[in-house]
Structure 1
């Protein structure tokens, strides 16, 4: 089985400050991976660099054996909620339809079938009753569900999500994680920037520990250990798992 994501010797910087150093790892299909590390570790920057939203200074990234520009139609991305202009005048259904523009084109009107496909994605996220609601009028959790629906409607092979559980209610967290598990079970590859160490073992089968470089990467049972967490977080680690 070939890796669906290959990152080789990737470095990135903001101005002259290096924020990612010699990042290398491979991700296999049908895996749900948490990207975990302290604040400032480069977690969001890693996703943005992989998806060519931020320039890399060295290295290369391939998806399904191809560079991003050739594989982008197979990729779904959910950015941090705080990075989105929620005052943009559009409703939830139109946001989800944006996920189909790669297929239907930006200059064509969505068909009835396209709109039904978008509605089905909203139904999957429990948001169909808000289809006509302006996104600025939705709660944070509801906004996050809409953006995940936009990614789902793409029917992508690879999914990248940047802290999708940050600041959401318990019901939204449950729906999001159930959806990501379903994608994994269908053989899709999912990578998630995640901040809650207490739920990593419950939610993810693989972990990438990051602090400007890769500290460890692999199955959660092998990587998510006290020793590797201390190497990742150093003196900033304030959480310890309870041993039964």
Structure 2
């Protein structure tokens, strides 16, 4: 049986005095592509931030590769929500991607030509090489998201966490991002993605974690992504789309 590379036990977290996450327990094995799904306010972004030591926990423990986050962080990449970034900061796309290498370069050292080449290659992989010297404020939302993903890719991490990478992007960018995520999985990387579109869960993810302040269900998508489990997660009456997408949700009333 595979040894989990992420173990979350009895994790709880709050904002001010409001408990946002309660008694979170799950494990993740290497080489999986997991969608984190739940209603607004379910704690999806907070879960990522708490796991990654960006938000304090009230209780519980998190281990990566059997180690606390601080000892494993060089093997972990994170793509926060695009809206949390100051895109008016005066820098270009290549510099943003190069920042993903600062853990290797050191914050007080200048990037070498090799570092710049690696950053350029990551941009090229995301179809953004022609925009390497473009100010990030001049990029569209989809282009900004591609740059953000390139910054994560250049780290060559073993485990990637992404918070709504497909939110507000055009169809071409969504396809490009999912192609990259599936390629990462194919070479043994592990990816967890906060995702909002229930209609694409079955096509995009081999595992799903249904969350509403606690883990409702977690496991292989074909086993977990069912009408009953989703109704339990969202707590409402569901309207379902055609048989070709048996578990796709049309709307939540």
1:67 maps to what in 2? 68
Give the match's secondary structure for 2:58. Answer: strand
SS state at 2:235 partner:
helix
Q: Match of 1:50?
A: 51
Corresponding residue for residue 16 of structure 1: 17
Partner SS for 1:6 = strand
- Equivalent residues in 2 for 1:114-129 (5 A)? 114-129=115-130
Other structure's SS at 2:110 match: coil
Number of the residue aligned with 1:242: 242
Give SS of 1:56's match: coil
Q: How far apart are residue 64 of structure 1 and its match?
A: 1.1
Q: How many residues align?
A: 243
Residue 189 of structure 2 is matched in structure 1 by 188
Q: Deviations over 1:91-133 (max 9, x none)?
A: 0000000000000101111111110000000000000000000
Residues 231 and 238 of structure 2 are in contact (CA less than 8 Å); yes or no, is this contact kept in structure 1? no
Q: CA deviation at 1:228?
A: 0.2
Following the alignment from structure 1 to structure 2, what is the Cα–Cα distance between the partners of residues 84 and 157? Answer: 24
Q: Please name the residue that 2:78 is paired with.
A: 77
Give 1:241 shift: 3.8
Aligned position for 2:220:
219
State the Cα deviation string for residues 73-93 of structure 1 (Å, max 9, x = none): 101100001111111111000
Distance 2:214 2:99 in 1: 34
CA distance in 2, matches of 1:86, 1:110: 22
Gaps of 5+ in 1: none
Instruction: Show the 5 A alignment for 1:119-198.
Output: 119-198=120-199
SS at match of 2:168: coil
The answer for the alignment partner of 1:27 in structure 2 is 28
RMSD: 0.8
Q: Structure 2: how far apart are the matches of 1:89 and 1:205?
A: 39
SS across alignment from 1:46: helix
Give the Å deviation of 1:138.
0.3
**Cross-structure match for 1:40:** 41
